[in-house]
Amino acid sequence: MAPLKPTILAVDDEQDMLKTYASILKNKYLVLTAASGKEALNLIGTEPVSLVLLDLRMPKQDGIQALKKIKETDPDLEVIMVTASKDIVSAVEAMKLGAYDYIAKPFEVKELLAIIEKALEKSALVKENLYLKETLKETFSYCNLIGKSLSMNKLFETIEKVAKTNSRVLISGESGSGKELVARAIHTQSLRKDKPFVALNCAAIPENLFESELFGHERGSFTGAMERKIGKFELANGGTLFLDEIGCMPAAMQAKLLRVLEHPFIERLGSEKSIEVDVRVVSATNIDFQKHIDEGKFRHDLYYRLNVIPIAIPSLKDRKEDIPLLIDYFLEKFNRTLNKSIKGFSPEAMESLLNYNWPGNVRELQNLIERLAVLANSNLISLEEIPLISHPSHSQINIDTSQSLQDNLANFEKQTINKVLLENNGNVSRAAKTLGLARTTLNNKIKNYKII
């Protein structure tokens, strides 16, 4: 039985717009429509609505009023405001009242679908957090972080102390260790918990768009600036701004960020008006900052302002007593989402998972459990079903003396590619960079070796 599609409720007083929503969303989602806020509230009370697309301008009850009623009915239901370009100020007000995001008409279908996907991901995280509280509330979970090891208990204690302050925090840890989860935990335990948590991955922003992403821009401020854009600092006002992969921030932007940290005022590109912001900045990195500073890639004065309170997340290989707990949690999660009934792992399979060093940390473990759950043929996963890279001997070349040297080398190449792909969560571009190959070359090898 396939999982049910998420249900999107589109609210607009124009029937043509409702038909447009139904047309563009029907392939991926179940679509409900309402012509007024009152009709929408009735549907929310009777149907399993996953997300609401809410028009800002409607007669009798406008979008802001409808949003307040929706949040009173279901505080966790995500709402995306749909606005005219001249209503941006009202859209920002809506976000302060709990709307997830806004999009201006006329919008690109791809942009709308991307915002919906992100909102549903956030909603799923909230539901998982509630599930965690029910299933692991005895001892082992804290704000979606799971662990019973000494190092994780110390991390939970540190978050509890830090959260109640406004001090800046720099989170360090290996890729996949849960840096954003720690940042969200700090926010949700803080006095700012009812204000926005806004995240920005510095590694994913082109250098020429960085300033606009952080501070926003006015219409016509540069080529392609067709509408006003509210930057992340302004959106996070009163709340927390999480700057992931802060070490990737361009040098020019480092100076501008430093200025805002010293004097909390921003200016949108193309505007001379200063806007005061009250934002707690939490940053994260997996780089060696001292090396970056010594090489002139990162300003030491900015580093000291960001690193008021350092928090280091332990890698999974250093808290292996947490692995069975994480496996149980992920198995339960994927049993629910995939309609499976997997009970666990054979003793040999569990030993293999405990002996692996997990370079991709919790994210790698989650991806592996999902893969095994999808492909499992029985309710108990055996050692033979686990990819070779997770065996204790994964770092060794497995030589078959009955085969030629060329066949043995090909086998090792396949193992290496498989290992690096899993460590990079299936991202071919990152895996190619790690392996020193062109993306097209790696794609050809994946096809030739029939790597899934």
195 and 298: one domain? Answer: yes
268 and 190: one domain? Answer: yes
310 sits in which H/E element: strand 309-312
pLDDT at 288: 86
Of 49 and 124, more confident: 49
CA neighbor of 142 nearest in space, from 201, 182, 187: 182
Percent of the chain residues topping a pLDDT of 90: 51
* Residues counted in the chain: 452
pLDDT at 129: 60
CATH code, 436: 1.10.10.60
pLDDT at 390: 45
Continuous H helices in 272-380: 289-294, 300-306, 323-338, 347-355, 361-375
pLDDT at 395: 42
In a domain, 78, yes or no: yes
CA neighbor of 312 nearest in space, from 96, 85, 154, 165: 154
150 and 246: one domain? Answer: yes
Per-residue confidence at 414, pLDDT binned at 50, 70, 90?
confident
Task: For 13-39, write each residue's pLDDT tens digit.
Answer: 999 999 999 999 998 999 999 999 899
Total Cβ atoms within 10 A of residue 154? 12
In a domain, 2, yes or no: no
CATH code, 233: 3.40.50.300
264-283 in b/e form (b: 16+ CB < 10 A) is eebbbbeeeeebebebbbbb
197 and 53: one domain? Answer: no
pLDDT at 190: 94
Q: Which domain holds residue 53?
A: 7-109
Query: Into how many domains does the chain fold?
Result: 4
Which of 279, 314, 349 is the C-terminal boundary of a domain?
A: 314
Of 431 and 116, more confident: 116
73 and 216: one domain? Answer: no
In a domain, 117, yes or no: no
Per-residue confidence at 402, pLDDT binned at 50, 70, 90?
low
386 and 322: one domain? Answer: yes
Judged by average pLDDT, the poorest of 123-127, 204-208, 399-403 is 399-403
In a domain, 183, yes or no: yes
Which of 272, 293, 314 is the C-terminal boundary of a domain?
A: 314
The mean predicted confidence, pLDDT, of the chain is 86
In a domain, 123, yes or no: no
Task: For 237-256, write each residue's pLDDT tens digit.
Answer: 999 999 999 999 999 999 99
Percent of the chain residues topping a pLDDT of 70: 91
Q: Are 356 and 392 in contact (CB under 8 A)?
A: yes
pLDDT at 137: 44
93 and 220: one domain? Answer: no
268 and 307: one domain? Answer: yes
Helix (H, G, I), strand (E, B) or coil at 142: strand
Task: For 141-181, write each residue's pLDDT tens digit.
Answer: 577 889 989 999 999 999 999 999 999 999 999 989 999 99
CATH code, 349: 1.10.8.60
Query: Which amino acid belongs to residue 224?
Result: G
Distances 146 to 143, 285, 421 between C-alpha atoms, Å: 8, 21, 25
330 and 366: one domain? Answer: yes
